[in-house]
Amino acid sequence: MKSNHILNLVLLTTLLFSCEKNENTEEVTNLIEAKRAEVAPDKRVALWDLNFENDSLKGETDQLEALQELIKEIEAQQIKFTDAVLRLPDAALGEKTKALVTISVANIRSNPKHSAELATQALMGTPLTVLKKDDGWYLVQTPDGYLSWVDRAGIHLMTEEELAHWFREPKVVFTALTGYVWKDENESEMVSDLVAGDILTVQDETKDKLKISLPDGREGWIAAREAQDWESWIASRSTTPEALITTAKQMMGTPYLWGGTSIKGVDCSGFTKTVFYLNGQIIPRDASQQINEGELVDADKDWSKLQVGDLLFFGVKGTEEKKERVVHVGMWIGNGEFIHSRGLVRISSFDPENPNYDEYELGRYLRTKRIVNVPSEHVLSVSSLLTNN
């Protein structure tokens, strides 16, 4: 009888402890999710991978201020726990928490392996924030906030001070659609290929050549006519109808590439992002992010309201059971036409009499937004790219 009593007591204690533990887990999980909704509703641009298990707060995040707020909220509930959260940038990186893209176009993937989905791209000279390392891959954040993985071979790791020094060096922007860096002025050996928008530092110049340095220290020569110094390039950027149309049409025929944001290949939102970048603005990466910017122009297929540069969005309309799905974007170029990347960069029209009539896109049209000359939280000036923030 005595042993049964002891056994029952142990079982009761275990049950009470388990109930308390479960209650703590549920309460902390609710706090985690509430904070996620506040600071990281879009996991593409904010990392908040936290969980509470066995009285331990685990996971990783780059939202350090929010993490401290969460910890205070847990402590206020008098819940004892172990803090096992990895704070990013990872301390294992040391001071090398910055990087520059060192190849013409860096492929940035959803996971740390070459077979992973291509999430986005970054051009040579683009500054990145480095968050952690996984073998030969680095989790980085691009200037538009996108979080993805890049191969070590495509970047040059730097400290804050080294990046600040690079910012101060004289620079040029490569303006031809494609080109090369040559080892010598005779163009006998290629150092690297280039695409429009790549950023290089200048070491010397002749009448028609520039001696430049790539972000990883490699040097070579380019034709002076194919580049423009950074300050004058920035000053000449404009989202006028003429500038947007010219840039967009220069990319006609560029092949569709999921995750692409360069002349080598673009997806639909990568195309609009590239057009605006080459004209001085950094806009969000994906169509489902771009649709949240600017002001609403049309949702009723009244094309008379549209202006050159307006972004048209397509997808599946929402219902009571399902959320709206934004899957495609194009840019209005006037005269009843828009330009977009589907298979290749092409021009389409909603006019049945136009040879470019696109019944397919007309059928899944959602609405049009305007970001040209409209203040928007996540639309930035390219001039902010080379500031030491």
Query: Which residue is catalytic, options 5, 19, 165, 340?
Result: 340
Q: What is the pLDDT of residue 20?
A: 52
Domain 170-231: assigned CATH number:
2.30.30.40
Same-fold call for 92-166 versus 170-231: yes
Known catalytic residue at 19: no
Q: Is 383 helix (H, G, I), strand (E, B) or coil?
A: helix
SS3 sequence of 123-156: ECCCEEEEEEEECCEEEEECCCCCEEEEEHHHEE
Measured CA to CA, the distance from residue 327 to residue 324 in angstroms comes to 10
The model's pLDDT over 54-72, given as tens digits with 9 standing for 90+, comes to: 899 999 999 999 999 999 9
Known catalytic residue at 328: yes
Query: Which residue is catalytic, options 5, 19, 165, 268?
Result: 268
Closest among 381, 296, 326 to 42, alpha carbons compared: 326
Check the CA dihedral 12-14-20-23 and report its sign. negative
Amino acid at 240: T
The conformational region for residue 296 under phi > 0 = left, psi -120 to 50 = alpha, else beta, is beta
Measured CA to CA, the distance from residue 28 to residue 31 in angstroms comes to 5
The model's pLDDT over 234-289, given as tens digits with 9 standing for 90+, comes to: 999 999 999 999 999 999 999 999 999 999 999 999 999 999 999 999 999 999 99
Measured CA to CA, the distance from residue 17 to residue 92 in angstroms comes to 37
Name every residue whose Cβ is closer than 8 Å to that of residue 104 and which is 6 or more positions away in sequence: 123, 124, 192, 193, 194, 195, 198, 262, 264
Known catalytic residue at 156: no
Alpha helices in the chain (DSSP H): 2-39, 64-76, 160-168, 230-236, 241-250, 268-277, 287-290, 359-363
Supply 303's token pair. 């094309």
Name every residue whose Cβ is closer than 8 Å to that of residue 240 and which is 6 or more positions away in sequence: none
Mean pLDDT, rounded, for 47-59 = 95
**Helices 2-39 and 64-76, interaxial angle, to 10°?**
140
Task: Note whether 239 and 277 are within 8 A (CB).
Answer: no
Task: Note whether 317 and 323 are within 8 A (CB).
Answer: no
Q: What is the pLDDT of residue 264?
A: 96
What is 203-251 written as a DSSP string?
EEE-SSEEEEE-TTS-EEEEEGGGEEEHHHHHHH----HHHHHHHHHHT
Could you give phi then psi for residue 46, rounded to 5 degrees?
-150, 130
Q: What is the pLDDT of residue 364?
A: 98
Q: What is the pLDDT of residue 16?
A: 44
Place of tokens 């600017």: 294
Whole-model pTM: value is 0.90
Kindly indicate the confidence band of residue 4, based on its pLDDT and cuts at 50, 70 and 90: low
Whether the pLDDT of residue 17 is over 80: the answer is no
Query: Which residue is catalytic, options 5, 156, 165, 328?
Result: 328
Mean pLDDT of the chain: 93
Kind and range of the H or E run holding 85: strand 82-87
Name every residue whose Cβ is closer than 8 Å to that of residue 131 and which is 6 or more positions away in sequence: 47, 62, 88, 89, 90, 97, 138, 139, 140, 141, 147
CA atoms within 13 A on the CB side of 321: 0
CA atoms within 13 A on the CB side of 334: 11
Supply 140's token pair. 């980085």
Task: Note whether 292 and 286 are within 8 A (CB).
Answer: no
Domain boundaries of the chain, sorted by first residue: 16-87, 92-166, 170-231, 241-384
Whether the pLDDT of residue 93 is over 80: the answer is yes
Q: Which CATH number fits domain 241-384: 3.40.920.10, 3.20.20.450, 3.90.1720.10, 3.40.50.300?
A: 3.90.1720.10
Supply 164's token pair. 């600040």
Q: What is the pLDDT of residue 385?
A: 83
Q: Which CATH number fits domain 92-166: 2.30.30.40, 3.40.50.970, 3.10.310.30, 3.40.640.10?
A: 2.30.30.40
Mean pLDDT, rounded, for 23-38 = 93
Q: What is the pLDDT of residue 386?
A: 77
The model's pLDDT over 169-187, given as tens digits with 9 standing for 90+, comes to: 999 999 999 999 999 999 9
